[in-house]
Structure 1
Amino acid sequence: MAIKYNLSLHELMDFLYGQDYEGFTEQEIQAVEHKIGVKLPTAYRNFLLKYGGNTIYNAFNDLFNSLEDIYTSYQIIDDILADLEEDFKESIRTGNQEEYADNPYFTLWQLPREEWHTITQNYVLIGCDPEGIAYEGYLLADLLDGNPDPPLYLSCDDDFIEYKRWSDSTEPFLIEMLGESIFYHRSIDSYDSTKHIPIKELFSHIDADIDDSQLNVNGHIATCFDTASEKVYFYFEYKTFQRVLCVCKADLH
């Protein structure tokens, strides 16, 4: 079995689509940038221009459904505060504002927008996970600084207030999302373990023999390609579980 390790996003897309790529236009991307008030980072722009419209991304994961779904977290907070405003006003009228003492949105509602950064930073949110709970995006300040490939962050606790750093750069994040899209939308060969076990042992559960010393986990993801059987393997590594999945091109059509 001849194995190629640590595939790039371009190599993965070649395997899945050949040269049949579908991207967004420059005009479509510029319209989004006008809406959010900042230019998207070069690494993500290049992906959108070349691959952003491909069906495997759009099939399930909201991250790639529509450019129209890209907003800043402050824009979303504006909508949340508009929905909560009457409740907040009523709590003040009735003297019951203590019920919102630990509510960060109540604090934001009372602050001028230029002071929101004392509670939460502003992020450019490019999508959410398949369950619609955690949101992923770039720190707006990084984009304003012109960083061509900044880190990505993941929202915590199903809100738009707290975020944790998730990926140091764009490509491993996009590869991870590609693997998740395939996993959630297709019935394919996969194996999960909630107990962290050796990577080689994990792969053995789907009858794959790999050299784990050559598998480079970048962020939360690693990939390899069996050139003989034409199968791609995705390995996911998280705090609470590990996952490996095997993808044949035929599985995607």
Structure 2
Amino acid sequence: MNLHAIKAIYIFEMSRFFRTFLQSFISPVISTSLYFVVFGAAIGSRINEVDGVDYAAFIVPGLIMLSVMTQSTSNASFGIYFPKFIGTIYELLSAPISFLEIVIGYVGAAMTKGLFIGIVILATAYLFVDLDIKYPLAMLAFLVMTCLSFSLLGFIIGIWAKSFDQLQLVPLLVITPLVFLGGSFYSISMLPPVWQTITLFNPVVYLISGFRWSFFGDADVAIGVSLFAIGFFTAICLAVIWWIFKTGYRIKS
């Protein structure tokens, strides 16, 4: 394992993040505050509790998941797409490092950025509501696994994309709608039976449900199913990345 190569890629990617540190810090704080004003105050005044949890606290896991999924995907996709765009990826591919080390460097940096955003949003939430996280270690584990899986997805998107427009296509038109429709701001038990069944085909439901369980000890889906879903999604992403480097899909051409 070439640790020097991984460290070089990781530090290079993180340096971009620190150059825009204030933007990276302030943006999630403002957006989280606005969500609490709109959903916590406006809707929360009409919905006091969901499954015995204060509505303002209930939406916190969904808010964190919304930002973590989109940010991890966007950071990883841009990180690998930019070397493709300017042509420096060929220098990377010709260097004495394996595809695994390349993936660890880029995905590790995107994971770190996603974790930072998640922690910032959680800290901001404490300014608005009283939170008592029932399983803090499980919460952290779910957060790390989500950052990992969606950073891997972002890496795949960065390889697949041929333009900056395509780079934003999946996070904006696929991930964000799935999160909103995945029970981030409501319990799927509040839906009519037919829509509950349809919602279960949304893979994001299982991630949000498992993450919410770590906060409140209650979930729409069994915790074992949520763990299997995120593990299965991560395995698929790893398999796709292995295939990309094995075939050179949109890398060597």
When normalised by structure 2's length, the TM-score is 0.30
Kindly indicate whether structure 1 or structure 2 has the higher relative contact order, using CA contacts under 8 Å at least 6 residues apart. 2
Q: Which structure: greater strand fraction?
A: 1
Q: Which structure: greater helix fraction?
A: 2
Structure with higher Rg: it is 1
When normalised by structure 1's length, the TM-score is 0.30
